[in-house]
Amino acid sequence: MAGGIDFSWTQFLWNVFIFVGVPGLFGARVVRAVWQSERADLGGAIPGHTGGGRLGLWATGLVASALGFLACAGWLSWSADSAGEFRGPGLPAPNKFPTWQVVACGITVVLACFVAAHLSRWTKAGGLAAAMGTTAGFTTAFAVDASRTITSQEGVGLGFSVLGWGIGLGVLMTLRSAWLNSRYARKMPRRH
Please report the pLDDT score of residue 4 as a whole number: 54
Are 113 and 172 in contact by the 8 Å Cβ rule? The answer is: yes
Please report the pLDDT score of residue 127 as a whole number: 94
Please report the pLDDT score of residue 44 as a whole number: 58
Q: Rounded distance, CA 30 to CA 16, Å?
A: 20
Instruction: Name the phi and psi angles at 191, rounded to 5.
Output: -100, 140
Please report the pLDDT score of residue 51 as a whole number: 73
**Which of 71, 40, 50, 49 lies closest to 165, judged by CA?**
71
**Which of 166, 167, 101, 174 lies closest to 134, judged by CA?**
166
Residue spans per domain, the chain: 9-187
Give the mean pLDDT per block of 10 residues along the chain (192 residues). 65 87 91 88 64 87 96 88 69 78 94 96 93 95 78 79 93 93 67 49
Are 57 and 29 in contact by the 8 Å Cβ rule? The answer is: no
Please report the pLDDT score of residue 61 as a whole number: 95
Q: Rounded distance, CA 133 to CA 125, Å?
A: 12
Alpha-carbon separation of residue 184 from 56, 68, 179 (angstroms): 20, 29, 9
Are 102 and 53 in contact by the 8 Å Cβ rule? The answer is: no
Are 134 and 67 in contact by the 8 Å Cβ rule? The answer is: yes
**Which of 139, 143, 138, 121 lies closest to 58, judged by CA?**
121
